[in-house]
Amino acid sequence: MPLGEEITKRQHLVVLALVLLAHAVEHTYGAIMPVLFPSIMEEFNLNYAQIGLLASSYLFTLSFLQLFAGFLSKRFLRKVLIGIGMIWVGLTTFASGLARGFQELVSARTMSGVGSSVYHPLSGSFLTDQFGRSSRGRIMGLHLAVGNIGSTIAPILAGFTVLIVGWRSTLQVFAAPGIAAGLLFLLFVREKRSSTVAGLSSRRSLVAALRRRETLMLIVVETLLSFRSSGVAAFLPGYLKSTVGFPVAIAATFFSVMYAGSIPGPIALGYLSDRIGRRRVAFFANTLSAFAVWLLAIARLSEVILVDLIILGIVAYSAPAIIQAFLGDVVDPPLRDSAFSLFFAISMTLGYSLAPAVLGIVIDKLGFQYTYGLLGAISLLAGLLVLPVKEGAN
């Protein structure tokens, strides 16, 4: 292999490794909060609607501000935006542990979302640029799988840490990985600005990215998936504790088991989508997810719930990797920053961030069973809507 190609390959591997590390850390900040919610509810005397608002305060800024990641990447290197964003999330997570009341905690979590907002769209376009269509499903699957390692480990650690030192100190302990990941990203990722991307105006990039019907359809599908996944995850520990009767530590462990299934799932389904097509695999994953969510609504035996959560983790939390690879296939390279910014901003604002606030009210009024039944129907709808999307070739 020529020296130049060897150096380029090594640089790609360094970028991949640090993007994966940052993703694992970024996922911990969403995964630990549902475990801490029961303790926060007790200290501040909150109901589920207020807990939903707390969850959405972080998710809304994380989601909506992703729209501007494409604009920022035309002025600053992606590595700078991601690195500073990770450091900011760590610092504001530490500040969350100092909150003296519910309003202060909501404010701190809102500010944490600002730092997280640049990660998803920029890391997605970063990886898509460096890996071709033949391997993109596997790479995006690996990306999601490593992120889900953070989601798997974090609730277990947080579940036991909160019993020992309380929810405040737990947040402060978890601040350190974000700061460390951000510094590593700034120091070791090498990136050159693309003159092609820099030459396009932000407005033109956004308009061009939205012109393809496939892009719009994938945004709709991802919005439904984000709503479903956020709704299941935000209240799962509370559901297992209040309805099924599990202790907090056991509920946290079962929550982690679901995410454990989401580690091999994205890699396997991503590889399968490279071989037989994104559309088929996405339809299968979302349809099976619907039945898994419906079973969760009625199951009471711990063994059934355990198996169901593993299946749910494998299929429901793997589908986004396929949809992201799908997006990379149908969007031309110069438009990917803008396309991924739109994709994550719209889907996560209307899906991921709104779900806890909306479903918290639904749970208070109608209960968990009705809520999970609704989420199963949303998953089935997402599976049906992916069928008309044409396969891309980029």
Model pLDDT for residues 270-296, shown as the tens digit of each residue: 889 888 888 999 999 999 999 999 999
Q: What is the pLDDT of residue 280?
A: 92
| One-letter amino acid of 281 | V
**Is 242 part of a structural domain of the chain?**
yes
pLDDT tens digit string along 86-96?
Answer: 999 999 999 99
Q: How far apart are CA 3 and CA 360, in angstroms?
A: 57
Q: What is the pLDDT of residue 382?
A: 95
Which sign does the torsion angle of CA 342, 351, 93, 178 carry?
negative
**Is 153 part of a structural domain of the chain?**
yes
**Is 34 part of a structural domain of the chain?**
yes
**Is 86 part of a structural domain of the chain?**
yes
Average pLDDT over residues 114-122: 85
Please count the structural domains in the chain. 1
CA atoms within 13 A on the CB side of 235: 35
The rounded percent of the chain whose pLDDT value lies above 70 is: 89
Beta strands in the chain (DSSP E): none
**Is 394 part of a structural domain of the chain?**
no
Task: List the Cα angle 24/337/9 in 5-degree steps.
Answer: 65
Q: What is the pLDDT of residue 192?
A: 67
How far, CA to CA in Å, does 158 sit from each of 164, 166, 230, 267, 346?
10, 9, 19, 26, 30
**Is 306 part of a structural domain of the chain?**
yes
What distance, in Å, lies between the first and last C-alpha atoms of the chain?
26
Alpha helices (H) along the chain: 3-44, 48-64, 69-72, 78-96, 102-116, 119-130, 133-173, 175-188, 195-198, 202-210, 213-239, 248-261, 264-276, 278-298, 302-316, 319-330, 336-347, 354-366, 368-385
Average pLDDT over residues 189-208: 59
Domain around 221: 3-385
**Is 390 part of a structural domain of the chain?**
no
Which sign does the torsion angle of CA 307, 262, 132, 8 carry?
negative
Least confident of 18-32, 61-75, 354-368: 61-75
If pLDDT is split at 50, 70 and 90, which confidence band does 22 have? confident
Structure tokens belonging to residue 111: 């500010």
Q: What is the pLDDT of residue 3?
A: 33
Reduce the DSSP state of residue 193 to 3 states and report it: coil
Region of residue 389 (phi > 0: left; psi between -120 and 50: alpha; otherwise: beta)? beta
**Is 392 part of a structural domain of the chain?**
no
Q: Say yes or no to pLDDT of 243 above 70.
A: yes
CATH of the domain at 355: 1.20.1250.20
Q: How far apart are CA 125 and CA 13, in angstroms?
A: 16
Average pLDDT over residues 218-235: 91
